[in-house]
Structure 1
Amino acid sequence: MAINVNNLQNTGQVKTDKVEQNQQRQQTTVQQNATQTANQKQDSVSITPQAQQFAKLTDKASNSSGVDQEKVDKIKQAIAEGKYKINVEQLARRIVQFESEIFGKK
């Protein structure tokens, strides 16, 4: 860029040149940003069918009560009808086993 020192009245031209240079720089920057944006790849996530099935099963398990209500109803009915038999020997063994696990004795 040349500046005419002898003709000081022509300073408007110098200012115009600077404005044009700034505009060109801005345009170049905008173009470079647009090119970089276009070159960037989009991120994506995909979930496998197994993960989708696992998520469904997890939701189903969290929504369930954890009690087999059908089995409970059958036992209640058998008790009410007097048909429920208790195996006292097995019950005694399990009580002893439970207590030994709690107190650490065998």
Structure 2
Amino acid sequence: MAINNVNNGLPKTPVDNTKISQQNQTQQSQQQASDVAAKTQSAPRQDSVSLTQSAQQLNQVQKKGTEAPVNQEKVDRLKKAIQSGEYKVNPEVLANKIAKAESEIFGAD
């Protein structure tokens, strides 16, 4: 059996190797991109948090406050006195205690 009229009688066009290599590179690039995307999606994300020194100090103060013993009888007595209006605040004593607490916290004299 004879095959006639191959390429409709037109001359055979040469193969452009640069075009083929560009196509191969494009396919490889696409494959690499999809591989990277797959690895990125499957790898667990690592998040981290860092606290400032002030935040760490505040956290320590809060822990100490919750661990401190509470004299519930005194708390109840003060609640009653405040509710009945019998509790009187001495502003000088209060100011001295606030100043003392600030100097202990911030280290100022």
Q: Which one scores higher on RCO, CA 8 angstroms, separation ≥ 6? A: 1
| TM-score normalised by structure 2 residue count | 0.35
Q: Normalising by the residue count of structure 1, what TM-score does the alignment of the two structures yield?
A: 0.36
